[in-house]
Structure 1
Amino acid sequence: MANTPQARKRIRRNDRRADINKARVSRIRTFVKKVESAIASGDKTAAAEALRAAQPEMMRGVSRGVLHKNTVARKLSRLSARVKLLG
C-alpha cells in the first residue's frame, strides 16, 4: 500500500496513463486489422491504401512509447511483404 503522497500520486498517474496507452495500442491494432482484412480479401489497392494509413499510426505509437521501434519495423515489413505478394 502506498504510504507517501508521491506514491499515491504515482498510482493515480499510472492508472490514467495505462488507460491512454491501452487506447493507443487498440487504435493501432484496428489499423493493422484493416490491412490484414484487405489482404485476406485479395484486394491489392485496398491493402496498399490501408497500409499507407497504418504506417503513421504505428510510428506514432513508437514515438509515444507504447510500442518498441523494432516491433513496429518488423510488423510493417511483414505487412508490406504480404501486400506486395498480392496479385
Structure 2
Amino acid sequence: MANHVSSLKRARQTVRKTAVNRANKSRVRGSLRAMREALQAGDHAAATEQYRKTVSALDKSVQKGILHGNTASRYKSRLNARLKALSTAKAA
C-alpha cells in the first residue's frame, strides 16, 4: 500500500479512472452486442438505427482513449459490411 501523500493520491485517481474506463468499455461492448443481435434478427431498419448508435459509441471511445482509432475503424467497416449484406439479402 502507498505511504506517501502523492502516491495515495495517485492510487485514488487510478481507482476513479479505472471505474470510468470500465464503464466506457462496457458501453461499447453492449452497443456492439446489440448491433450483432439486430443483424442476427434480420431487421434492416433496427440494424441501421443500431449501426448509427454503435458507430457513435465507437467514435466516442476513440476520443476517450478506450479504443485505438484503427480498431474502431475495423469494427465499423466489418459491421457496415454485414449491414450491407443484410440489405442485399433482403432485396434479393
Task: Provide the TM-score with structure 1 as the length reference.
Answer: 0.92
- State the AA in 1 paired with 2:32: V
Measured against aligned partners, the alpha-carbon deviations of 1:25-61 in whole angstroms (never above 9, x if no partner) come to 1111111111100111111221111001111111001
- Gaps of at least 5 residues in structure 2 are none
Alignment of 1:7-86 (within 5 A): 7-86=7-86
**Which of 1 and 2 has greater Rg?**
2
Secondary structure, counterpart of 2:28 in structure 1: helix
Q: Report the identity percentage.
A: 38
Write the distance in 2 (CA, Å) between the matches of 1:39 and 1:74. 17
Q: Tell me how many residue pairs correspond in the alignment.
A: 87
Secondary structure, counterpart of 1:56 in structure 2: helix
- State the AA in 1 paired with 2:29: R
Task: Provide the TM-score with structure 2 as the length reference.
Answer: 0.88
Secondary structure, counterpart of 1:22 in structure 2: helix
- State the AA in 2 paired with 1:48: T
- Gaps of at least 5 residues in structure 1 are none
- State the AA in 1 paired with 2:14: N
Moved over 3 A (4+): none
For the aligned residues, what is the CA RMSD?
A: 1.0
Secondary structure, counterpart of 2:67 in structure 1: coil
